[in-house]
Each structure stands twice: as structure tokens, then as C-alpha cells.
Amino acid sequence: MYLKSLELSGFKSFAKKSTLHFTSRITGIVGPNGSGKSNTAEAFRFVLGEQSIKSLRGKRGEDMIWNGGGEAGSGRANRANAKLVFDNTHKLFPTIDFDEVTIERVVHRDNSNEYLLNGSQVRLKDIIELLAGAHIGATGHHIISQGEADRILSASIRERREMIEDALGLKMYQWKKLESIRKLERTEQNMKEVESLRREITPHLRFLKKQVEKVEKAEELRRELIALYKEYFREEEYFIRIEKERIAREIAGPRKELAELELALEKAKTILTDSKNKDTKSDSIIALEEKLARTRIEKDTIMRELGRLEGEMHANARVIEKEKEKQKRDEFKTVYVKDLEEVVQSIESLRSIEDARTLFTEVLSTLKGFIARHRSATDSALIAEAEQEIASLSRNRNELEAKLKGISDTESAVTKEYNDLKGAIEKEKDTNREAEKDVFRIIARQNEVRTIVAKLTQESGICMHIEAEFKREAGEAGMMAGRDAVTYEKISDAHHSDRVAQEERHRKIERNKIRLEDSGAAGGSEVLKEYKETEERDAFLARELLDLEKAKTELLTLVTELDARIDFEFKNGILKINTEFQKYFNLMFGGGRAELVVVKETKRRKKSDVEDLGDLISDPNEDASEESGPEGLDVNVNLPRKKVKGLMMLSGGERALTSIALLFAISQVNPPPFIILDETDAALDEANSKKYGDMIENLSKHSQLILITHNRETMSRAGVLYGVTMGGDGASRLLSIAFEEAVAVAK
């Protein structure tokens, strides 16, 4: 026996705690009409999760709660609860590792419900799943009330099939199938959402891929540029270093000699100034020396300025070269408003052409011509500005060169005068003349040395300008190509510096810089990061889609397998039920035949009024065809000695006997742990009651029976009999008689 007890408290007419112990295979519950005995059957439905309050003879959840008695009765309760206790030693509920399982349901006045399993609150779903595994349900075939005994016969073929499937224990498979279908629908919905997300991502991913390709191309250009920069800076640094060392080395001697010559000249001038034999020639020598000194200072200044101008002109020439490289690309072409106005005027002059095709051709030709003219142009504001700067510097250089020529002419004239005076003095042999000769000699050497120093100073100015350009280039390289571009190993050994090759490197650098700028790969790290994240997201969605497709295939396979399992178990169960049904039917009627038959529901369909002309003129009420619906179950009966072959022709008693025979047959095929029969024997006469009692005893070998009855024959088959009475307060009370114990005592 699996069912141990039912405990009621505040449930309907059971105001106080009442317990029914099921210690016998057959337990009877008797009592007068209105005593509340049928409330026990409803208590079973209630605790097993019945959600239809109407089937429990109520309108609201609070109708299940004791509402109080008369003036002397107890007050109304605030809650109703019913508790079923099962023996689980034989693992009726295999998922629960306890020898006793308690299922309890509580309803409150606010219509809220609680479900408890062994005292712990659980969900209704948990209770239903647990009971389904043991072939128990709130509205199953094992709880049959007086009004529902005939329901299996009066139901539609589809409803009847559902009842049989429930009785055969297929509800669990159908629940799994329903869950699988729901999962399948969710899976398909998820697949649509994932596919939609991938469709949204794909264009952006393609765009990012193109950007990444640009970034990768730009990175390749950057690496090439870094390599060029390293080689260029290595060579340039070496050239500047060696050039500065050379100039410093070559200018040191002449500067020292100039200082010595200056001291010697001062000494010779002092001798001339202090000489007692000083004459006009000595004064001329001093005047010539001062004039030459001024000329030299002015010449040195002009030479330095010329060196600066040469450096600036060189820098501007580089700017022009760089800009012309840019101008070779169409996107850097400059178009002036004046030129556009001319194009507009040319197009406006075509308005007289009436033919649209000719007009379009002329307009297109005008625009193509405009583009062709400007594609070959290399004009730009920056080039023009640099060329103007070079022209200005060139004019300044020409002016300085003219001034230098004038100074050089002056220097030549002074030098000629100096040579003439020198020749005159050479003829004189006194001490004073020797000093004068020294002055001339020193001045001549000073001129030579100063020319060397001036040349080296000019070269130093150019070198300083090259060094300034080198530093500027290094700063620009660091910003454009990164720190790696300015990290290079210096040349330590003797090395030939090829300036032509270096200029070619610089041109390559300028071209690569322009290409890198044109690549439009700014923010490359962010693009790569976004592309990687988007690609990973797309890959994740692709994997998820594959998983969903796999899950869909598995679910479809599971649904197919469940359909096959349900169909097999159902048809196999029908064969077993029909065997038992025939046996019980023979027992009830002494012969005849009864069986369940699988049929398809048919629907009559009328001709449509939108078919062809022949249908339009036909009878609109004429049935056109039949449609086959889902499979169901029909009941075929053939009573002995009567020409009764359909359920509609059975009397009330015959229907009751047929329904009982079918219900008992169903119970025999897949016996539930317990069966509750609520006055299903009410319509039976004495002879049939005995047959009913025999069937009950046979049925009790497989399931516990709880019988709510008025029938004495049925009562006599019970091992324990509970009597339900109702006092003046309207509350139900229990009295029990254990016949099995009484018989044992009597013996």
C-alpha cells in the first residue's frame, strides 16, 4: 500500500483537523447526503494540484476554507489545508530519497496557494512532475466522482483519447513532448534573433574589415617608412657629425692664425705710429688697413647671410618637391572658384539644346574636359607660397651678391693701392719701411685666411640649417611613425656619405608619408580593437547558431521519438485495455462485445463560393467533401440478446455498467497507486452491485481503493469504514470501523 493517510484542516466542511488512515486495501467512506463525505474526494483533487475551482464545487479559492458554523459553532478559518502521506519504501517517487513523502496544499483567504513537499515549499510544477512520474494526477482516471463516471462515454473521441493516454501513463511523455516543442519554438525564435543579429553585424563587419585592411596597409607603409627613416637618420646624423667635425677641424687653424696675424698687425702698426721717421706712406698704410678691415667685416657679414639664404632656399625647395608629390594624386588637386564659374557658364550656354540625350552628352563632355585640364595641373597655394619665398630669397641673394661684388671690387681696388704702395716701400730700406712691409704682408695673409674662414663659416651655416631640418624631420617622424623611427644605431666607423643617395631616400620618405596620410587609417588601434570584438561577436553568434541548429535537430529527433513512443505505447495499451474491457463487459452483461477503436475525426466541408463557375451555380447547402482531423477513440458495444450497437442506444444503467467496465479495464492495464470511486455504484441494482463488488475486490489486488458509497454490497467489501456525520454547527466529523481488526478479535 502506497497511500497512508489524508489529513484535512479547515477544508470545506472539515472545520477541525481530521485524519483518514488508509490501512486496508479497500477503505469505505459512508454517510448521509450532505454530511461532507464527497469533500474527501475533492480534498484528494485539491492536494494533488487541481486548478479548476469549479470542479471542486466552488467559485473562488476561499470557498475551500471553512466559513464558520451557526451561533454555537466555531468561527471561520483563515486557511484550509490538505495533506497526503505516501509510503515511499518501494520508491513510488524514485527521485525522493525518503521512506515517507508528504504532499500538502494550503489556500488562504486572499486566494494565494502554497505547496509543500515534506514540509518544504515548492512550486506547483514540481508537484505535477513528481506525481506524473507515479501516474497520479489531480483529474486523472484514478479519481472518479458520481457525475464523472459517464464522462468517458460522453466525451468526444479526442477527449476520450486524452483520458486513455493519461491512464496509460503517457502524460509524462506528452509533457516531455510539449516541453520539447516549446523548447523547439524558443530555439527557432532564438535562431531568428541570432540570424537577425548576424545580418545586422555583417555590413558593419565588412566595413570594419576594409578599415582593417587599410590599417594593415598603413601599418606596412609605416614599417617601410620606419626602415627608411632609420637609414635616412643614420646617414644624416653621420653626415652632420662628420661635417661639423671637419669644419671645426679646418677652421681652427685659420682662426688661430688670424688671431696671431691680428697681434702681429697691431705690433707693426704700433711701430709705424711711434716711428720718428713716419711719413705719409705710413699714414696711408694705416688708412688702407682700416679700410680693408671694414671691407672684410662687411664681406663676412654678407657671406654669412648668403649661407643662411642658401639654407632657406634649400628648405623651400624640399617643400615644393614634397607638395608636388602630393599634387600627383588627384585628391590633392586645387580647383579655383573662377574655374568652376567658367564651367557653370559653359553648361548654362547649352540650355538651348532641346534633346535631353544631346544635352546630357554635352554636359558630361564639358565636365570631363574640366577634370582632364585640372588633373594635369600641379598648382597649390603651398607651392605658390614656397616659390614666392624662394623668389624673394633669390632676390635678396642677388642683392647680396651684387653688394658682395661691390665690396669685392672695393677690396680689389684697395688691394691694388696696397700693392702699389708696397712696391714703393720695397725700394726703401730703412727700419720704418720694414714695419710697413710687415703690415702689407700681414694684411695680405689676413685676406687669404679670412677667405678660408668665410667659406668654412658659410659651410657651417648650411650644416646648422641641415641639422635643424634633421631635428624637425625627427620630430615629425616620431609623431607619424612612432618612436621606433628615431631609434637607430649611429655609424661609428669611417663611411662614405653619398648625398645623392640621401636625397633619393628623402624623396622616398616624402612619398611614403603622403601614401600613409592618404591611407585614412587614423585611429588604427581602435579600429583593430572594434574589428576584433565584432569578429569575435560574429564568431560567437555563428557558434551559437550551430549549437541552436544542433539543438533543433536533437529536439526534432526527440519529438519524433516521443511521437513514436506515444503511438506505440498507446496502441499497445489499447490492445491490453480492450482485453480487460471485454472481460469486464462479459462479467457485467453476461456476453456481448465491447472495444475501443482508433478513429479519425471527420469534418463536413461546404463548397466555397469562390470556386469555379460550375460551383457557383450548384446548391450552396450541398456538402462538398470531408476533412480528416486528429485521431481519437470511439467505443463500440454490442449487448447480448439485443440489437444495441451504439452508445446512444444504451439505457442509463447500461451506460453506467459500460463506463465502470471501461474504467476498471483501464485501471487494470496500468494500475495507479490508488483509485477513488465517489458513488460510481449509485445507479446499480442489487445483482449488478454484487458484480461491482467482485470487480472491486479484483481491482484492489493492484491498487488501493477509497470508496465513497451508499451501497451496502460495496460497503461489505471494505476493510476499514469511515462514517461522516455533520453536527448542528455544520462541521463534518469522522467515525471509523476497522472490520479486519474486528474479525481478527472475534476469531
Q: Could you tell me whether strands 704-708 and 26-30 are parallel, antiparallel, or unpaired per DSSP bridges? A: parallel
Which tens digits make up the pLDDT trace of 171-183? 778 888 888 999 9
Q: Calculate the alpha carbon distances from 51 to 46, 56, 111 in Å.
A: 8, 9, 12
Confidence of residue 192 (pLDDT cuts 50, 70, 90): very high
Residues in the chain: 747
CA distance linking residue 586 with residue 640, whole number of Å: 9
CA distance linking residue 232 with residue 734, whole number of Å: 110
* Average pLDDT over every residue of 506-523: 76
Partnered with residue 637 across adjacent β-strands are: 594
* Average pLDDT over every residue of 21-34: 91
Q: By three-state DSSP, how is residue 546 classified? A: helix
Quote the mean pLDDT of the chain.
Answer: 81
Looking at residue 650, the DSSP 8-state letter turns out to be -
Cβ distance 731 to 73 under 8 Å? Answer: yes
Cell numbers given for 606: 461546404
Question: Which residue in 32, 43, 49 sits closest to 5, CA to CA?
Answer: 43
| Dihedral over alpha carbons 362, 366, 372, 378 (to 10 degrees) | 180
Confidence of residue 613 (pLDDT cuts 50, 70, 90): very low
CA distance linking residue 689 with residue 687, whole number of Å: 5
CA distance linking residue 508 with residue 702, whole number of Å: 99
In this structure, of 45-49, 396-400, 420-424, 547-551, the range with the lowest mean pLDDT score is: 420-424
- Give residues with Cβ within 8 angstroms of 654, minimum separation 6: 589, 639, 644
- Give the pLDDT score at 746: 47
The helix (H) or strand (E) run that includes residue 55 is none
Confidence of residue 284 (pLDDT cuts 50, 70, 90): confident
Cell numbers given for 414: 684697395
CA distance linking residue 78 with residue 61, whole number of Å: 12
CA distance linking residue 380 with residue 383, whole number of Å: 5
More confident of the two residues 688 and 333: 688
Which tens digits make up the pLDDT trace of 297-323? 887 788 777 777 777 777 777 777 777
Cβ distance 161 to 170 under 8 Å? Answer: no
Helices 157-167, 652-669: crossing angle, 10 deg rounding: 40
- Give residues with Cβ within 8 angstroms of 387, minimum separation 6: 316, 320
More confident of the two residues 353 and 377: 353
Q: Could you tell me whether strands 26-30 and 113-117 are parallel, antiparallel, or unpaired per DSSP bridges? A: unpaired
CA distance linking residue 142 with residue 415, whole number of Å: 142
The helix (H) or strand (E) run that includes residue 135 is none
Confidence of residue 747 (pLDDT cuts 50, 70, 90): very low
CA 641 to chain centre: 76
- Give the pLDDT score at 706: 93
Q: Calculate the alpha carbon distances from 679 to 25, 41, 441, 689, 702 in Å.
A: 18, 11, 154, 12, 20
Sequence letter at residue 71? E
In this structure, of 368-382, 450-464, 547-561, the range with the lowest mean pLDDT score is: 368-382
Cell numbers given for 52: 479548476
707 backbone dihedrals φ, ψ, rounded to 5°: -110, 120
CA distance linking residue 284 with residue 437, whole number of Å: 13
- Give the pLDDT score at 509: 87
Q: Could you tell me whether strands 26-30 and 623-638 are parallel, antiparallel, or unpaired per DSSP bridges? A: unpaired
The helix, strand and coil proportions of the chain, stated in percent and rounded to the nearest 5, come to 65, 15, 25
Cβ distance 662 to 695 under 8 Å? Answer: no
176 backbone dihedrals φ, ψ, rounded to 5°: -65, -40
Confidence of residue 628 (pLDDT cuts 50, 70, 90): low
- Using the predicted structure, report yes or no on whether residue 368 has a pLDDT greater than 70: yes
What Rg value do the Cα atoms of the chain yield, rounded? 59
Q: By three-state DSSP, how is residue 626 classified? A: strand
Looking at residue 653, the DSSP 8-state letter turns out to be H
Partnered with residue 600 across adjacent β-strands are: 631
Question: Which residue in 511, 554, 494 sits closest to 322, CA to CA?
Answer: 511
CA distance linking residue 599 with residue 631, whole number of Å: 6
CA distance linking residue 671 with residue 674, whole number of Å: 8
CA distance linking residue 547 with residue 665, whole number of Å: 46
The sign of the dihedral angle between the CA atoms of 380, 382, 387, 388 is positive
Say how many Å lie between the first and final Cα of the chain, rounded. 25
- Using the predicted structure, report yes or no on whether residue 370 has a pLDDT greater than 80: no
Q: Calculate the alpha carbon distances from 12 to 36, 104, 107, 188 in Å.
A: 8, 16, 11, 47
- Using the predicted structure, report yes or no on whether residue 555 has a pLDDT greater than 60: yes
CA distance linking residue 542 with residue 536, whole number of Å: 10
| Dihedral over alpha carbons 45, 48, 51, 53 (to 10 degrees) | 30
Sequence letter at residue 516? L
CA distance linking residue 324 with residue 378, whole number of Å: 7
The sign of the dihedral angle between the CA atoms of 567, 569, 572, 578 is negative
- Give the pLDDT score at 610: 43
Confidence of residue 155 (pLDDT cuts 50, 70, 90): confident
226 backbone dihedrals φ, ψ, rounded to 5°: -60, -45
Sequence letter at residue 192? K
CA distance linking residue 654 with residue 648, whole number of Å: 11
Alpha helices in 609-733 (DSSP H): 613-616, 652-669, 686-699, 712-716
Q: Could you tell me whether strands 143-144 and 674-678 are parallel, antiparallel, or unpaired per DSSP bridges? A: parallel
More confident of the two residues 88 and 276: 88
Name which CATH class applies to 3-142+672-746: alpha beta
- Using the predicted structure, report yes or no on whether residue 608 has a pLDDT greater than 60: no
3-class SS string, 269-337? HHHHHHCCCCCHHHHHHHHHHHHHHHHHHHHHHHHHHHHHHHHHHHHHHHHHHHHHHHHCCHHHCCCCH
Sequence letter at residue 681? D
* Average pLDDT over every residue of 39-64: 88
Partnered with residue 5 across adjacent β-strands are: 21, 85
